[in-house]
Amino acid sequence: MTAIGRPEPAPPRPYRFPRYERRVLGNGMRVLVAPMPALPIVTVTIAFDAGAMTEPSGQDGVASLTARALLEGTTRLGSTELSEHLERLGASVVTDADWDAGVVSVTMLRSRLEPALALLAEIVRTPAFPEGDVERLKIERLAEIMQARAEPRGLADDVFARATYAAGSRYARPHRGTATTVSALTRAELAAFHAARFRPGGATIILAGDVTAADAERLAASSFGDLAAGAPAPVPLDDGAARATRALHLAPRAEAPQSEIRVGHVGLPRAHPEYFSVLVMNAILGGLFSSRINLNLREKHAYTYFAFSGFDWRRGAGPFSAATAVQSDVTAPAAREILAEIDAMRATTPKADEVELATSYLAGVFPIKYETTDAVASALAAMAVYGLPEDYFDVYRDRVRGVTAEHVRAAAEKHLHPDALQLAVVGDAAAIRAPLEALAFGPLITYDRDGEPVASP
């Protein structure tokens, strides 16, 4: 084959994030509409101020269980009838809660929007929380908790969270709750959580797809406009760290063929002013395939199938962590390489070439991320939940491209804290404990198979 020179890119074509319009209903509920008429479908997403951070003390898991229980029937329709009504409209509704919001979302053909939205309003406004269905949902959730415990990666995530956040911080405990807290939840607690948090004042409804702003406003008003005004009470965010210095956290798993590794510390809140510098810094460190951590652990050493790092952005300071799964015999060397990459990120200014790769990647994939009505609705929900500026999506690419090597270095120095790193590992203790201790990383804390710390001898 004759060599053909590498092609040069053509001039870029203009891009704009889908235009959206904003309305506010009389009761305070916000309405965002993004007309995207490429296909005759519409996504409707409603975000309530009903995330796990708003759970009453001792009721871990009530937020996501309440969100899920919305689909178990209304004062008019039983759970089976409700599912059939929705699904005959081709509408599979997803309801769940993350740390910061309770979210109800559905996508269906435009021709079925009106009846589907009427059902969605019914679900949100008049859930019945039938005793029997709530008890069944609790058992299903307990089954999920058992599954997550059995998965080395799920256990590693839980141990890392517990190792990183102070005992009083909600972030120290799984957002889905634990077997103990979920077992204790009652129908009345779900109903009370719903009454307190699913209020129009804290909510945003988003319609994205084949719908006009006028139609969307009319539909939102007729579905939710007569809800009594009121906003949920604000809640404090406790995101304090468990400890100021390093520690090694080991959860044994006999004969595991791989070790799950998490390295990190308390990160930053989503609304942080240096968000873009930190985003680019992490992209260089471990945010994409061509990042330092992946090229080192996978392509140079072949320790793993993949390795990455990230900031988990929440209202409070979510965690920063690097994560990977490596064959057991290289557990300590792999951890050492990750630590070295974190140190190097702070020690030297990245090359212009690396910064350019990260910024052009982040700016370039932005339009690819927002092709679908689902993705646009989720993005607008995040904008509402995190209080991002209204022009956020229009300036995003310029903000990313404005990040320089000096910004990255400064962000790494300021926001990566090698002395505060927690190293959590789930693996075959007989094979990995001694080499990990030989790293002299910090004091060892061991955990049992349920992710509970084992008292030191």
Partner 1 sequence: MPALSFPAMRIPIERFTLPNGLAVALSVDHTAPIVAVNLWYNVGSANERPGRTGFAHLFEHMLFQGSEHVGANEHFELVQRAGGTLNGSTWVDRTNYFETVPSNHLATALWLEADRMGALLPAMTQQKLDTQRDVVKNERRWSIDNQPYGTWWEKLPELAFPPEHPFHHSLIGSMEDLSAASLQDISAFFATYYTPDNAVLSIAGDFDPADARTFVTEYFGPIVRGNGRPPLADMRVPERFGDWRRATVPDAVPLPRLFLALRSPVFGSDAYYPASVLGAVLGMGKGSRLQRNLVRGREIASEANGFTLDLAKGSDLLVADVTARPGVAAERLETETAIELDALRRDGVRADELDRALALIETAVVRSLQSAAERADKLSMFATYLGDPGLVNVQLDRYRAVTVDAVNAFAARALGEDNRLSLLYVPRDGAQAA
When asked if residue 37 is in the footprint of partner 1 (CB under 8 A), the reply is yes
Residue 191 in contact with partner 1, rule: CB under 8 A:
no
Pick the closer one to partner 1 by CB: 149 or 346: 149
CA–CA separation, 285 and 309 (whole Å): 7
One of 35, 51, 102, 202 touching partner 1 (CB under 8 A): 35
Distance CA 69, CA 198 (A): 13
119 part of the interface to partner 1, by CB under 8 A:
no
* Residue 208 binds partner 1, judged by CB under 8 A: no
- Report the C-alpha gap between 371 and 38 in whole angstroms: 10
177: contact with partner 1 by CB under 8 A:
no
Alpha carbon 188 to chain centroid distance?
28
Nearer to partner 1, 366 or 386 (CB): 366
Phi first, then psi: what are they for 409, rounded to 5°?
-60, -45
Cβ-proximal residues to 287 (8 Å cutoff; 6+ apart), any chain: 279, 308, 309, 310, 358
Report the residue from 75, 76, 84, 352 that binds partner 1 according to the rule CB under 8 A. Answer: 84
Of 38, 395, 430, 438, the one binding partner 1 by CB under 8 A: 38
In the complex, least distance from residue 117 CB atom to partner 1, rounded to whole angstroms: 15
**Binding to partner 1 in span 3-22, by CB under 8 A:** 3-4, 6-15
Nearest to 388 by CA among 57, 95, 20, 133: 20
* Given 329, 371, 413, 448, the residue binding partner 1 (CB under 8 A): 371
Examine residue 89 and tell whether it contacts partner 1 (CB under 8 A).
yes
Nearer to partner 1 by Cβ, of 143 and 195: the residue is 143
Q: Which residue, 56, 76, 244, 95, is CA-closest to 166?
A: 244
User: Of 21, 94, 96, 136, which one interacts with partner 1 (CB under 8 A)?
Assistant: 136
Q: Considering only residues 313-342, where is the footprint of partner 1 by CB under 8 A?
A: 325-327
Strand ranges across the sheet with 102-109? 21-24, 30-35, 204-209, 41-48, 102-109, 94-97
Q: Restricting to residues 229-268, which ones interact with partner 1 according to CB under 8 A?
A: 256-258
Minimum Å distance from CB 148 to partner 1?
Answer: 9
Choose, by CB under 8 A, the member of 212, 222, 245, 348 that binds partner 1: 212
Among 361, 393, 441, 447, binds partner 1 (CB under 8 A): 361
Report residue 436 as tokens: 């990990």
Residues with Cβ within 8 Å of 270's Cβ and at least 6 positions away in sequence, in order, are 313, 314, 315, 318, 386
Total of chain residues touching partner 1, rule CB under 8 A: 83
Q: Which is nearer to partner 1, 60 or 133 (CB)?
A: 133
Return d(Cα 340, Cα 401) in angstroms, integer: 27
Decide if residue 188 touches partner 1 (CB under 8 A): no
Among 160, 275, 303, 393, binds partner 1 (CB under 8 A): 303
- In angstroms, what is the minimal distance from the CB of 243 to partner 1? 29
| Nearest alpha carbon to residue 208 among 4, 375, 366, 410 | 375
DSSP state of 243: -
